[in-house]
Amino acid sequence: MSTIKKPALGRGLSALLQDSNLDVMNKESSPRVGSISNILVSQIEANPFQPRTEFEKQALNELAESIKLHGIIQPITVRKVGAGKYQIISGERRVRASILAGLNEVPGYIRIAKDQDMLEMAIIENVQRENLNPMEVALSYRRLIDECTLKQEELGERVGKDRTTINNYLRLLKLPTEIQVGLRDGKLSMGHARALLAVTDPNEQLRLYEDLLRENLSVRSVESLVKQVNQSEPKAINKSSNILNAEYLKQFETIQKHLTSQYQLPVNIKTKAVGKGEVVIKFNTESEFERLMNLLQQ
């Protein structure tokens, strides 16, 4: 198992673990706080603040095979919670794989940490993993803000990201649940999701999401569709004009939404003068055009 040196985390995991206030020498003989020692797996318990609750079985088995061959290259980090009792701060996956590999003990950094510090360390350690999906990152950022009472600037310092990046992830939590699940399951990318966020109507977001799944659309294609949707939204009517009164405007919006839903394409009804106007149905692909023609001929 190779190790990759991670960028500085600001006052994140590294700083918290190096805090001299946490490196208190243990009065007991061994192992001692502040050291790297071999710890019996029977003395280690899971982190109650671990944000990750699911571990892929195949990946764990692969890691276990690697540990059998090479051992544990990167020690886990634990806090001492009692005589012969330790709680994982980071490295639960390594512990699980070590048990599968038949190990009785694992190397670990021993620290003392408060619950709040431990929660922050666990989430930061988790969010630095390279294989997290965008929703896992977004939820971790939200937890750091809500549960660790961090501001976005402070969060950025902890995880080594700028405020714009942090905000882009947090905005994903505003998407409809179905799209969030798609992000989690890899059905669309972060770029797709950011494009969908440019649409304010959740129903339109879901319609575009279904289109991109059905047509396997690229990010650029989704951005183009989003632009069309935004351009087709009814514009504010000049109050000094007699083209549409309030009741007619209500019917106008209702009909436009109905046609958009019926054809599953952006529909824009434009009025030019009393009793005159045009209905514009936009399509982006040949398959959408063919589907529209079939619907109009029914």
Secondary-structure class of domain 13-114 per CATH: alpha beta
126-to-95, 112, 130, 140, 184 alpha-carbon distances in Å:
15, 19, 9, 8, 16
Residue 249: the pLDDT is: 58
d(CA 39, CA 194): 45
What amino acid occupies position 46?
A
CATH T-level assignment (fold) for domain 122-230: Arc Repressor Mutant, subunit A (1.10.10)
d(CA 177, CA 183): 10
- Angle at which helices 92-100 and 57-70 cross, to 10°: 70
Residue 252: the pLDDT is: 64
Residue 50: the pLDDT is: 63
Q: What is the DSSP string of 88-116?
A: EEE-HHHHHHHHHTT-SEEEEEEE---HH
Residue 91: the pLDDT is: 83
Residue 123: the pLDDT is: 76
Q: Which residues of 51-85 are buried (b: 16+ CB within 10 A; e: fewer)?
A: bbeeeeeeebeebbebbeeeebeebbbbbbeeeee
Q: Which two tokens stand for residue 96?
A: 């699980």
Residue 51: the pLDDT is: 57
According to DSSP, the residues that pair with 273 across neighbouring strands are: 276
d(CA 194, CA 173): 11
Fold agreement between 13-114 and 122-230 = no
d(CA 168, CA 209): 18
Ramachandran class of 113: left when φ > 0, alpha when ψ lies in -120 to 50, beta otherwise = beta
Over residues 215-272, the pLDDT tens digits come to 999 999 999 999 988 887 654 444 444 444 555 556 667 777 777 777 777 877 776 5
d(CA 298, CA 282): 19
27-to-24, 34, 42, 60, 79 alpha-carbon distances in Å:
9, 12, 22, 36, 15
**Where along the chain do its domains lie?**
13-114, 122-230, 234-296
SS3 60: helix
Over residues 89-117, the pLDDT tens digits come to 878 888 999 999 999 999 988 876 666 67
Residue 240: the pLDDT is: 41
Looking at the annotation, which residues are catalytic?
Answer: 92
d(CA 267, CA 257): 8
Residues of the chain with pLDDT under 70: 1-35, 49-54, 112-116, 118-119, 129-130, 147, 233-252, 271-276, 297-298
Mean pLDDT of the chain: 75
Contact indicator for 209, 178 with CB cutoff of 8 Å: yes
d(CA 100, CA 76): 16
